[in-house]
Amino acid sequence: MPDKIVVAGVPVDTRHWIGGRRVASGDTFADHSPIDGRLIGEIARGGPAEARAAVAAARDAFPSWAATSRSERARLLHAVADGVEKRIEELAIVETTDNGALLRSHRRGVMPRVAHNFRFFADWLLTLEHDDFETRGHTNHVSWDPAGPAVLITPWNAPLMLATWKVAPALAAGNTVVLKPAEWSPLTASLLADIAAEAGLPAGVLNVVQGYGAEIGDALTSHPDVRRISFTGSVPTARRIAGSAAANLTPLSLELGGKSPLLVFADADLDLAVDLAVEQYDNAGQVCLAATRILVEESVAEEFTRRFVAKAGALVQGDPRDEATDIGPNIHPRQLEKIDGFVRRALAAGARAVIGGQRGDGQCYAPTLLTDVAQDSEIVQEEVFGPVLTLQTFAGEEEAVRLANDTRFGLAATLATGDPERAARVGARLVAGTVWVNCFFVRDLQAPFGGSRLSGVGREGGTWSFDFYCDLKNTVTAPKGWKDHG
């Protein structure tokens, strides 16, 4: 196995990054591009031995990193951000090749956001404080202490952005990190290791191990030296991770699936509502936050559908490297088969495809809208994670809220209405970690992010991230008892 491969002209190391050096494995796994199915390269396939080595490196580096001043940690995170910004074009083309998302989105939004993740948490660290308060004359002082090595397990749909959403606050908090990227999109995590090393991050502070979760995951999440675990992915995997971490009572942050609603009321700006609905096809529908259940008030459902079909029909599906493309391929043949299975079963159960309902070229799935779906049907209740939306109607607010909340999930909800009082009233009743009103995907890093019900455990963002990645300490000092040191 070559130590490096060249991806769209960019050299990428295929080995793990452990303790400040590259480490090979005896076995590999194949990484294929969803654009054309070709083999990109053979990637080091880690297992328990690599997991233990990475945790040991993080453990050994922790005391020094935890003792590093806030200002120095912040400086190094800004240096990592500088490195990301210098390599935005390289990161963008490698990630597009690896996961099939739009190159234009990576260039203009995703990779700049990666740099922003580091800068935001570096700056937030320097402002992190809680006012002292008194109890019967005693002073209470709250501090955020580094917790220890953190294992971060990240998904394939936005690999580097979602990885650094975890890596940046964990490092800012003074923790050391073992990052395990998804096996379907491992390449930009390897590039991040290079960037971090070039920025001067000490050896062992950031480690990257690659491989299949079933082979390496338990050794990471059950390790007694790991003090934090953050995972983004599926509910079944989260259950396994939680069980693995239970013996050590390792704190968990879990951002899981969604089956989010988009509620369109008759008083909404219908063109805006249609734009919001069509936006749910972003990244080929591979977005956990996507509002895949469109709920439309009966009186405007026909007009909404007409405008939606026209708007969605103008989308261009194809090569994600082409500037004109709006929807690229789904990431893996297994994912494509899963999406198609959901749709075929829905159609067999009586659903009607207003648009789409079939595979496209290569690993593409046609943007699909299904109607005539029952509330308790699989297609309404289970996460598809592809460009598949359902449309149902409601008669009024009560039914809208009931339908919106009638799933096991609670990650997000989107609401389109022209009435601010209705927006406040309905928004307050929706079970969701984030509610967008007349907008979608507006995310500020200082806001809490996470899900309710089976959509997750915990919140990250701003101070909430530090609350998770740190051990909070309260020091209570008596007003007397001091000796004269004069």
Same domain, 186 and 326: no
Query: Does 139 share its domain with 220?
Result: yes
280 and 341 belong to one structural domain: yes
Percent of the chain with pLDDT over 70: 99
Cβ proximity of 139 and 476 under 8 Å? yes
Indicate whether 445 belongs to any domain.
no
Same domain (yes/no): 301, 410: yes
Domain with 153 in it: 4-256+456-474
User: What separation, in Å, do the N-terminal and C-terminal C-alpha atoms of the chain show?
Assistant: 68
Q: What is the pLDDT of residue 481?
A: 83
Residues 294 and 182 in one domain: no
481: left (phi over 0), alpha (psi -120 to 50) or beta: left
Q: How far apart are CA 142 and CA 5, in angstroms?
A: 48
Answer whether residue 482 shows pLDDT above 90: no
Question: Is residue 266 situated within a structural domain?
Answer: yes
CATH number at residue 241: 3.40.605.10
Alpha carbons 118 and 215: distance in angstroms, whole number: 30
Considering its fold, how many domains does the chain have in total?
A: 2
pLDDT of residue 282 exceeding 90, the answer is yes
Q: pTM score, two decimals?
A: 0.96
Q: How many CB atoms lie within 10 A of CB 310?
A: 11
- Give the model's confidence band at 380: pLDDT under 50 very low, under 70 low, under 90 confident, else very high: very high
273 lies in the same domain as 290 = yes
Q: Does the residue 303 lie in any domain?
A: yes
Is 60 among the domain residues? yes
Query: pLDDT, tens digit, for every residue of 46-78?
Result: 999 999 999 999 999 999 999 999 999 999 999
pLDDT digits (tens, 9 = 90+) for 320-329: 999 999 999 9
Cα–Cα distance measured from residue 318 to residue 474, given in angstroms and rounded to the nearest whole number: 55
Please give the pLDDT value at position 1.
62
Summarised one tens digit per residue, pLDDT across range 2-41 is 799 999 999 999 999 999 999 999 999 999 999 999 999 9
Residues 315 and 432 in one domain: yes
Q: Residue 231: its pLDDT value, please?
A: 97
Q: What is the mean pLDDT of the segment spanning 145-165?
A: 97
User: Is residue 483, in this structure, part of any structural domain at all?
Assistant: no
Rounded to the nearest integer, the mean pLDDT of the chain is 97
C-alpha span between 148 and 342 (Å, rounded): 42
- Clarify whether residues 219 and 311 are in a common domain: no
Can you tell me the mean pLDDT for 449-457? 95
User: CB under 8 Å, gap of 24 or more: what pairs does 373-376 form?
Assistant: 373/346, 374/349, 374/350, 375/403, 375/406
Shared domain for 224 and 372, answered yes or no, is no
pLDDT at 240 over 70: yes
pLDDT value for 283 = 97
Q: Are residues 238 and 344 in the same domain?
A: no
Average of pLDDT values for 456-482? 95
Are residue 100 and residue 113 in the same domain, yes or no? yes
Q: Which tens digit of pLDDT belongs to each residue from 211-226?
A: 999 999 999 999 999 9
The answer to whether residues 89 and 198 belong to one domain is: yes
CB 92 within 8 A of CB 177: no
d(CA 89, CA 273): 33
Q: Grade residue 152 by pLDDT with cuts at 50, 70 and 90.
A: very high
109 pLDDT exceeds 80? Answer: yes
Structure tokens that stand for 121 in this block: 């948490």
Q: What is the CATH number of the domain that holds 336?
A: 3.40.309.10
Residue at 446 is within a domain:
no
Residue 134 lies in a domain: yes
Instruction: Report the catalytic residues.
Output: 255, 288
What are the strands, taking DSSP E only, across 346-462? 352-355, 368-371, 388-394, 409-410, 412-416, 434-437, 452-453, 456-457
Helix intervals (H) in 136-285: 159-172, 187-199, 218-221, 235-246, 270-278
pLDDT score for 486: 57
User: For 339-353, what is the mean pLDDT?
Assistant: 98
CA dist., res. 373 & res. 376, Å (int): 9
144: which strand partners? 472
**pLDDT score for 270:** 98
Residue 42 forms part of a structural domain: yes
Give the per-residue pLDDT at 306: 98
